[in-house]
A and B are shown apart, each in its own frame.
Chain A
Amino acid sequence: MSELWEAFLQAIQLIVTLNSEVVEIALRSLAISATAVVLASLVCIPAGGLIHFRNFQGKRVLINIIQTFYSLPTVCIGLFVFIFISRAGPLGELGLMFTPAAVVIGQMVLITPILMGLTISALSGVDKAIKDSALSSGATEFQAIWTIIKEARFAVVAAFIMGFGRAISEVGAAIILGGNIRGYTRVLTTAISLETQKGELVLALALGIILIALALIINVIVNLALQRY
């Protein structure tokens, strides 16, 4: 137990002294997951808006499928994307395998259902009369969707942060697609996994603390956003 405590103290020291490797891995994690969530949001939030806005056959089934995919195992997504971008895959020529871009793609696929589903839920909470008022005021379909998103802005922000939380904390896709290459594709989760296996508990713990701290910050932001909503 005392060993663990010592490791914890050393880990804190690594963070406080801004150990270059720890900082580098944390920043890369943030950059990759932030890119993934921003790119995915650009597609998923409007797409969620469109699904909410339009009435079509199979809408409920589609929403059910999206919600089912919330809990898709990350390794499955890693495998799925791997098939597409590996040398022999249909997108193999792009040479994306074992690059940060591959991890971004994996995380984007992972959080797409969450972003889309939570956007749909957020917009469903907006009074239907808002949509009618927007259209009645002369808004185009896109303008009306944008108005509804603005009405549900806090819940949509919450969806964005939830997506980010899921992206930064996943390990399966990052390890399969990124390959955990030191100084290139190594992110917090893959590093923790590796360092733990190597017995480098101090470093693993320091990275773990950072990851949990990030998760905590994200949670605080989500709660603040939801309170305001």
Chain B
Amino acid sequence: MTLLKTAQLGYGADCKTFLRNITFEVERAEVFALIGPTGAGKTTLLRLLNLLDTPTSGKIYFNGQDTAKSTQLRLHIRRRMAMVFQKPVVFNSSVYENIAYPLKVRGCGRKEIQTRVEEMLQITDLKGYEKRRARTLSGGEAQRVALARAMIARPELLLLDEPTANLDPVSVSKIEEVLANTIREQKTTVIMATHDMSQGQRLADMIGVLMNGEILQIGSPSEIFCSPSNKEVAEFVGVENILSGIISQKDGALVTINVDGATIEAISEFAVGDKIYVIIRPEDITFTLAKETSSARNVFQGEIARMTTVGQLVRIEADCGFLLLGVVTKRSAEELNLNLGKKIYASFKATAVHVIK
């Protein structure tokens, strides 16, 4: 069931457009990550979703209700969600008062507030801090206070704006642990902005890639990372082996692509003459010392231009007229006696090639 839906959302100020044509849906209990570079509009979008700012065009629906209907409705909906900001924000009062704030403004009783604050202190590992002035806490501790404050009113939707940016690794893992537990146990719907791809991959069910104020792709983490919809997304999600080429022949779905004079075969919908980009995942490339007969449609001879050892893996860049990056295990590299300048064959299947415009 859809909890939040946006339709053609746009936002601009001072003659500048920050967001345009943002349309997406978030299901209940789903973790939706908004990834994109700094300045892409992630914070702006989260602020619109939290109803802190008003969109200049388009609509936001929460649980099917148009959020623009009335100020009273906006307050009512805002009370069903909570947001954690990138920079930890705490009020100039005690940790207890900070965490209790959302319940106080909702008019909850003293007893209920006390029980819930105790619970949140436990969850966020802040027991013993309740009397401390929140302003004297470290960045990581303050962010945990902000997280506790966001979660105390049991929001249906939790909006997180890069909550772990600028924090030390220990604080990051503590906050991620709290988040993961909350998501699992309370089935809270989460929309989180992050530029940390691995965090997006670790926590999200769905990912939206936001660049220059537009959502370029929405999909599961594997879709985003394996089949990026265009070159910008591919580059942002860290896809290697992005080669530009032109489709020279087409036989049904099988196309022949001219890449720097070499021809690559792939499966694609694009037509002859289309300028495209070819994406090949390094894991899909096989290196051999001799040309072997196999089902792989693409085999290129080249020589090793660069080798980098990363843990148990060796990244190999082969110059085949164009550069191809592949990954082999350390043992394979030793057994094949791979070293710089060595002649090798790189092969990959036509189905391993992802073609984008």
Contacts and interface: CB of A to CB of B under 8 A. Distances in A.
Nearest to A144: B105
A127 B82 CA distance: 19
B89 A138 contact: no
Given A130-B91, A147-B91, A151-B91, A137 B149 contact: yes
Interface string B59-85: 000000000000000010011001101
B71 to A, nearest CB: 8
B87 A129 contact: yes
Given A129-B85, A143-B105, A136 B91 contact: no
A133 interface: yes
Contacts of B150: 136-137
A132 B85 contact: yes
Nearest to B46: A136
Given A130-B91, A147-B91, A137 B105 contact: yes
B78 A138 contact: yes
A23 B3 CA distance: 69
A140 interface: yes
Counting chain A CB atoms within 10 Å of each CB, the highest count among B50, B102, B146, B150 belongs to B102
B129 interface: no
A199 B52 CA distance: 65
A132 B89 CA distance: 9
Counting chain A CB atoms within 10 Å of each CB, the highest count among B101, B106, B149 belongs to B101
A136 B87 contact: no
Contact of B50 (A136, A140, A150): A136
A136 B83 contact: yes
Interface string B102-122: 100110000000000000000
A135 interface: yes
Given A127-B89, A151-B92, A138 B52 contact: no
B95 interface: no
A91 interface: no
Interface residues of B, number: 22
A171 to B, nearest CB: 39
A139 interface: yes
B75 A140 contact: yes
B237 interface: no
A29 B186 CA distance: 62
B153 interface: yes
A57 to B, nearest CB: 14
B92 A139 contact: no
Nearest to A139: B105
Contacts of B85: 129, 132-133, 136
A133 B148 CA distance: 13
A135 B78 contact: yes
A135 B101 contact: no
B102 to A, nearest CB: 4
Given A132-B52, A132-B85, A138 B105 contact: yes
Given A130-B89, A151-B92, A138 B106 contact: yes
A181 to B, nearest CB: 47
Contacts of B149: 133, 137
A150 to B, nearest CB: 8
Contacts of B87: 129
A138 B91 contact: no
A122 B51 CA distance: 26
A132 B87 CA distance: 12
Nearest to A131: B52
B299 to A, nearest CB: 57
Contacts of A132: 47, 52, 83, 85, 89
Interface of B: 47, 50, 52, 75, 78-79, 82-83, 85, 87, 89, 91-93, 101-102, 105-106, 146, 149-150, 153
24 contacts: A129-B85, A129-B87, A129-B89, A130-B89, A130-B91, A132-B52, A132-B83, A132-B85, A133-B149, A134-B91, A134-B105, A136-B52, A136-B82, A136-B85, A137-B102, A138-B75, A138-B102, A138-B106, A139-B101, A140-B75, A143-B105, A150-B91, A150-B92, A150-B93
Given A135-B52, A137-B101, A138-B106, 10 more contacts: A129-B85, A132-B85, A136-B50, A136-B52, A137-B82, A137-B105, A137-B153, A147-B91, A151-B91, A151-B92
10 A-B pairs with the lowest CB-CB distances in the bound complex, closest first: A138-B79, A137-B102, A129-B89, A139-B105, A136-B83, A133-B89, A143-B105, A138-B102, A137-B101, A138-B105
